[in-house]
Amino acid sequence: MAFHNVYPDYQSLITVNVSLVHKPAYHFQPKQNWINDPNGPMYYKGFYHFFCQYNPKGAVWGNIVWAHSVSQDMINWIPLKPAIVPSKWFDRYGCWSGSATILPGDKPVILYTGVIKETPDPGYQVQNYAIPANYSDPYLQDWVKPDNNPILKPTRENVSSFRDPSTAWFNNGQWKMLIGSRYYDRGIAYLYRSKDFVKWTRAERPFHEKSETGMWECPDFYPVSSLGNRNGLDTSTLSKDTKYVFKVSLDETRNEYYTIGEYDAINDLYLPYNTTIDGWAGLRYDYGNFYASKTFFDPVQKRRILWGWANESSTNDENVAKGWAGIQLIPRMVWMDPSGKQLLQWPIRELEALRGQNMNVQDVNLYKGDTMEINGITAAQADVDVCFKFSRLRKAEAYNRNWDKLPQQDLAEDLCGIMGATIQGGLGPFGILTLASKNLEEYTPVFFRVFKTRVKKYKVLMCSDATLSSTNTQEYKPSFGGFVDVDLADKKLCLRSLIDHSVVESFAEGGKTVITSRVYPELAVGLDAHLHVFNNGTEPIIIERLEAWSMNTPMMN
């Protein structure tokens, strides 16, 4: 799905009506129209600022500007006028994605991609900067584009593959930032240096590159503490207790991957550890509908926050009809797993202020084929946190050693599609049925299945399967899956799902594996949506605890 394609017949169709049938209530989005990539999140003078790609004229990609909202908790949002709109020769055809950096003296600056002329693939791209017109305004309502823009132009071979400047960091007396690019099928992140944030020079060698990955969009690079705590680090932090995360969004697959590695600050090179796969089969923040993510350091709460965009699977005609398209997922706190092999993610705690009516379940047995409805909450707009226990592991299904010949991500999705919630297993499938209709004609299951390997170890599969999410046979209903790195010593698996009308955002084992599904039920909408817990394995499962809350609606733009 190439979101840089221009749709002249659609992009300026003014939104007349906004359908609320599938519109999320507590996930970030404007009142109407199209949004995509999160841009330039930052904290400034008492407010969290959030920008994103936005079409003010319609519900299909085009006419892109930087929408701007502010918040004091990242849950309730006040809309402001767009911060950056096409107005100069250096961004005439688009103000595309970028980042924000806070310079010394508490002075924010935005770096963004401008499109100066249209070409087939997709535009001649340059890098620009913008600064506040009034630094004393905590809302930062007005931005100025200095006349010395653009500050970076592409080389001849990549004029249409040169975009998405990263947040900058400072070391060795210079600012550093990354630009995403490609050379044929090789993804490249170029590093640029500057002493004044205006005149930039490209490093002789790419910061990092990888063959057979295609165009790298929205590169992100930041430090994480290796000390086993949840504290985030300022982007410019350098210390012996620091590891580094490098993330890219793959234009060809519409997926992202990240690696953990070392930063050679002298030569400005990134070196991923050999414990993570460097390529499209690598680690992901989210194994579902998630793209163009951006992080920032929250200086107030000392944490790193991750934003990600979830697109619709609707057609252009459907988006125009409903009057909106795209959401931002709940901001997540991100930190290093104690193992050092991956990151952990969890919804920011401010989200819990929206919790309303509550339902609790404890110590309930689920035998093969059992399904139990959770009543007393609004199932279409809920937060569900559940832990499952089991007494034995011996009924775990055999893991076929030939499966290891497949990329693990392909394998996970294939297994979730072939061995879904309705296929009886040994230890699993068990989990929850979200956005379920009264008679279970529709539901989106989020569940676990446990396999036993030849070396008496276990592999835990997590699935979020949209196959039966809607009775609409024309709907795109993918099955998403990912493996969960857990040793099962306590014979317990926990899951949290944020359900919001057309989005199910699920976190396994404290954020080790995360999957987001966009679903569009026809029967299980509003008060006709239900929530169930189920077990379709021969091994009995105990609901050790389940808490579910109806979620209130925040002030949302």
Catalytic residue annotation: 37
Order of strands, sheet of 47-55, starting from the edge strand that comes earlier in the sequence: 78-84, 65-71, 47-55, 33-44, 324-325
The CA distance from 336 to 225, in Å, is 7
Query: In DSSP terms, which residues pair with 294 in a beta bridge?
Result: 307
Count how many Cα atoms sit within 13 Å of the Cα of residue 520 in the half-sphere of its side chain.
21
The CA distance from 125 to 119, in Å, is 10
Token representation of residue 291: 């793209």
For tokens 């009995």, name the residue: 540
Assign 413 to helix, strand or coil: helix
Token representation of residue 361: 């379940």
Assign 491 to helix, strand or coil: coil
Contact 394, 505 (CB under 8 A): no
Token representation of residue 388: 């499952």
Sign of CA dihedral 526, 532, 537, 543: positive
Q: Distances from the Cα of 263 to the Cαs of 195, 202, 242, 259, 267, in angstroms? A: 20, 17, 9, 12, 9
- Based on C-alpha coordinates, what's the Rg of the chain? 23
The CA distance from 121 to 140, in Å, is 34
Query: In DSSP terms, which residues pair with 458 in a beta bridge?
Result: 452
Looking at this protein, which amino acid is placed at residue 254?
A: R
Strands 343-347 and 332-336: antiparallel
Token representation of residue 213: 């990955």
Assign 528 to helix, strand or coil: helix
Assign 416 to helix, strand or coil: helix
Count how many Cα atoms sit within 13 Å of the Cα of residue 291 in the half-sphere of its side chain.
25
The CA distance from 501 to 440, in Å, is 16
- Could you write out the DSSP letters of every residue in 122-187? S-EEEEEEEEES-TT-TT---EE--TT--SB---GGGTTSEE-PPPPEEETTEEEEEEEEEETTEE
Token representation of residue 82: 């767009």
